[in-house]
Amino acid sequence: MSLFEPFHLPFMARALVELVILGVLAGTVGVLVLLRRLAFVSDTLTHTVFPGVVIGYLMAGQDGVFWGALAAGVLTAVLLTVLAHRRRVSEDAALAMVLTSLFAVGVVLVSRRTAFTSDLTQFLFGRILTVTQEQLVQTAVVTVLVAGLLAVLRRQLMLRTFDPEGAAASGIRVGLLDLVMNVAVALVVVAAVQAVGTILVIALLIVPAAAARALSDRLVLIVPLACLIGALGGWLGLAASYEASVYHGLRLASGGTVVLVLVVLYGVATLAGAVRRRVGLGRARLSTPELEMTR
């Protein structure tokens, strides 16, 4: 399989750049999603952006899509933050209802159009191979914004994630921080959804971080590893789908192929992590709690 040749083509090169940027962005945010157990929240955000995309498109054509998605994403982020702080209804049930209801609004709006099926398909799978220069710039800007935000807030976020009560006790405004976190996820979704579609966004947010977590216990390593795995998955997935369609006459959706490559990478990482721990077990034995106590 040729890993470099396909990317001499301009559209493949743009797709690769988009996926590498997104891999880095989603890898970073994904570690927080993993540690805060926000997978379902992220999944909800990927779906609730849909009505925003549709309304934006109906109002202002292709240019409206980004802003519609942004409005819907931020709105859902606020809604989810508010719902999470209510105890009257279990959070996952509330998430499921927000997800399906808002997604249904999008489907209802789009189902009255003649190009129903192709619109929906584009939203679910994106068009990674037709990414424009402008979209690349949008993604890059969002990445810089989110990365900057997380860098500034990293200590507060870490304390809140590890010990919510302790964070509140030390004066951190947990509700506000949770809103920032949800907005960060929403921004990732908005930046990515047009190019890669909902399914790939959720995979990029969850799978690389989970793989990195399996490989390391140290946060300083987990974040760069997640970025690396996300970008690697994008590269290998694109190369594989290109190879299949050009040389083997097998059309494989690029977004879907990237997800499958990511899941395979996750499997490899889990195995590698298990092997590494088994090897390291001999060393770890020396300092088990039981021995500590008898000393």
Partner 1 sequence: MTQQQDRTAALVLEKASVAYGHVPVLEELHGTVRSGEAVALIGPNGAGKSTLIKAVLGLVPTVRGRIEVLGVTPAQARRDVAYVPQADTLDPDFPVSVEQVVMMGRYRKIGWLRRPSATDRTLAAEALERVGLSDRAKNRFGTLSGGQRQRVLLARAIAAQPRLLLLDEPFNGVDAVSQHALLEAIALLKQQGAAVVVSTHDLAIAHLACDEVCLLNRHQFGFGPTDAILTPERLRATYGGHALELRGDRVIVTQT
Partner 2 sequence: MSWLDSTVHRAMIEAALVGVLGGVVGVFVIARRLPFFTMALTHGTFPGIVIAALLGVDLYLGGGVFGLLVVLAVVVFSRARGQDFTAATGIALSGGFALGVVLVSAQDGFSKDLTAYTVGDVLAVSTTDLVITAGVAVVVLVVMAALGKELLLVAFDRDGASAVGLPTAVLDFALLAIIEVTVVATVPALGAILTVALLVGPAATARLITDRLVLLFPIAVAVGVSCALAGVWVSTQWNVAAGASIALFCGAAFGVAFLASVLRGRLRPAAGVLAPPAAVPEEARA
Q: Which residues bind partner 1 (CB under 8 A)?
A: 35, 152, 155-156, 158-159, 161-163, 165-166, 168-171, 213, 216-219, 222, 284, 287, 289, 292-293
Running DSSP on this structure, what letter comes out for residue 251?
A: -
Which option in partner 1, partner 2, none does residue 272 bind, with CB closer than 5 to 8 A by kind? none
> Counting contacts by CB under 8 A, is residue 188 touching partner 2?
no
| Rounded Cα distance, 126 and 91, in Å | 29
Cα separation of the two ends of the chain: 57
Residues 6 or more apart whose CB falls under 8 angstroms from that of 126 comprise 192, 193, 194, 195, 196, 197, 200, 255
* Minimum distance, C-beta of residue 261 to partner 2, in the bound complex (Å): 9
Looking at beta carbons only, is 113 or 136 nearer to partner 2? 113
H helix or E strand, kind and range, residue 174: helix 174-215
> Counting contacts by CB under 8 A, is residue 147 touching partner 2?
no
Which option in partner 2, partner 1, none does residue 291 bind, with CB closer than 5 to 8 A by kind? none
Instruction: Give the per-residue contact string, 61-90, with partner 2 (x = CB under 8 A; - = no).
Output: --------------------------xxxx
| Rounded Cα distance, 161 and 181, in Å | 11
> Counting contacts by CB under 8 A, is residue 37 touching partner 2?
yes
* Minimum distance, C-beta of residue 168 to partner 2, in the bound complex (Å): 18
> Counting contacts by CB under 8 A, is residue 243 touching partner 2?
no
> Counting contacts by CB under 8 A, is residue 100 touching partner 2?
yes
DSSP string, 121-173: HHHHH--GGG--HHHHHHHHHHHHHHHHHHHHTHHHHHHHHH-HHHHHHTT--
CA dihedral 204, 209, 211, 217 (to 10 degrees): 170
Residue with tokens 């989603």: 26
| Rounded Cα distance, 276 and 263, in Å | 20
Cβ burial of 156 (10 Å; 0-12, 13-18, 19+) is middle
* Minimum distance, C-beta of residue 203 to partner 1, in the bound complex (Å): 21
Running DSSP on this structure, what letter comes out for residue 66?
A: H
> Counting contacts by CB under 8 A, is residue 117 touching partner 2?
yes
> Counting contacts by CB under 8 A, is residue 108 touching partner 2?
yes
| Rounded Cα distance, 26 and 139, in Å | 11
Which option in partner 2, partner 1, none does residue 162 bind, with CB closer than 5 to 8 A by kind? partner 1
Q: Which of 39, 71, 136, 159 binds partner 2 (CB under 8 A)?
A: 39
> Counting contacts by CB under 8 A, is residue 217 touching partner 2?
yes
Which option in partner 2, partner 1, none does residue 96 bind, with CB closer than 5 to 8 A by kind? partner 2
Q: Which of 13, 20, 124, 158 binds partner 2 (CB under 8 A)?
A: 124
Site residues, partner 2 (CB under 8 A):
34, 37-40, 42-43, 47, 87-90, 92-101, 103-105, 107-108, 111-112, 116-118, 120-121, 124-125, 199-200, 202-203, 205-207, 209-210, 213-214, 217, 250-253, 255-260, 263, 266, 270, 273-274, 277
